[in-house]
Amino acid sequence: MSYYKHHVFFCLNERTNGEASCAQHGPQAAFDHCKARVKAEGLAGPGGVRVNKAGCLDRCAGGPVAVVYPEGTWYTYVDRHDIDEIVDRHLKGGEVVERLVLAPDVGR
């Protein structure tokens, strides 16, 4: 058993050279919302869910992105409703939100 049931990383990386990056899509608000929802649902902490900021996850072309471990499920999202769906269906219910899964061939 791992320390957390789920560990969620949100890419907050910003590139200043003009290349695509997740920071261009407002990921801080999504991160903040996810963290608040996880806490409000009583999912936070050991044995539950940890939500973390990450630097570049190297999947910039699909940004914004977040990844849920231990499954290694990569998500892209648009708004708070998408984050709510990830929290409700994946983190609480154990079901991958297929419509938000990042295509496996999307990279930098």
Specify the amino acid at residue 63.
Answer: G
pLDDT at 20: 86
Return the bridge partners of 68, or none.
Answer: 8, 73
Predicted local confidence at residue 108, as pLDDT: 80
Q: What is the pLDDT of residues 78-107, one digit of tens each?
A: 999 999 999 999 999 999 999 999 999 998
C-alpha–C-alpha distance, residues 22 and 2, integer Å: 28
pLDDT digits (tens, 9 = 90+) for 5-55: 999 999 999 988 888 899 999 999 999 999 999 999 999 999 999 999 999
In the predicted structure, residue 1 carries a pLDDT above the cut 70: no
The predicted structure's pLDDT at residue 79? 95
Candidate CATH numbers 3.20.20.60, 3.40.50.2300, 1.10.490.10, 3.40.30.10; the one for domain 6-100: 3.40.30.10
Evaluate if pTM is beyond 0.75: yes
Per-residue confidence at 56, pLDDT binned at 50, 70, 90? very high
Mean pLDDT of the chain: 95
pLDDT of residue 29: 97
Say how far apart CA 29 and CA 5 lie, in whole Å. 23
For the chain, the domains span 6-100
